[in-house]
Amino acid sequence: MPWNPSSRPAGLGRSASCQFCPPPLIAQVTPLLENFRTHGAISRLAHQGVLEPLLHFFPTALDKLPPEDSALKGMDGCKMGE
């Protein structure tokens, strides 16, 4: 039976109507829990200050992954004037 584009149900993509096409593959998400490029404070700031608010307001837009950690400590803070 040849493929007929007019037989496709309305609102469905091309692959949904193709009986010979394999189903689409969904990639497995592998969380990388250790960040080797930045220190732990920057990773925490990125997670708490950027990702958590985005996930709060747009819960389906991003994958929910555990926060990254880093073995690098980073610099100690400094005080300006006393």
Helices (H), 3-49: 14-17, 40-46
| Residue 49 domain boundaries | 31-73
44 falls within a domain:
yes
DSSP state at residue 66:
P
pLDDT of 53 reads 94
Residue 40 domain flag: yes
Q: Is 29 helix (H, G, I), strand (E, B) or coil?
A: coil
Q: Considering the domain boundaries, does residue 65 fall inside one?
A: yes
Distance separating the N- and C-terminal Cα atoms of the chain: 84
- pLDDT for 58 equals 94
Number of folded domains that form the chain: 1
* Model pLDDT, residue 40: 87
What string of pLDDT tens digits covers the 82 residues of the chain? 555 555 555 555 554 557 788 888 888 878 888 888 888 888 888 899 999 999 999 999 888 888 888 888 877 777 777 6
Residue 80 within a domain: no
DSSP 8-state class, residue 60: T
pLDDT at position 63, please? 83
For residue 38, is it within any domain?
yes
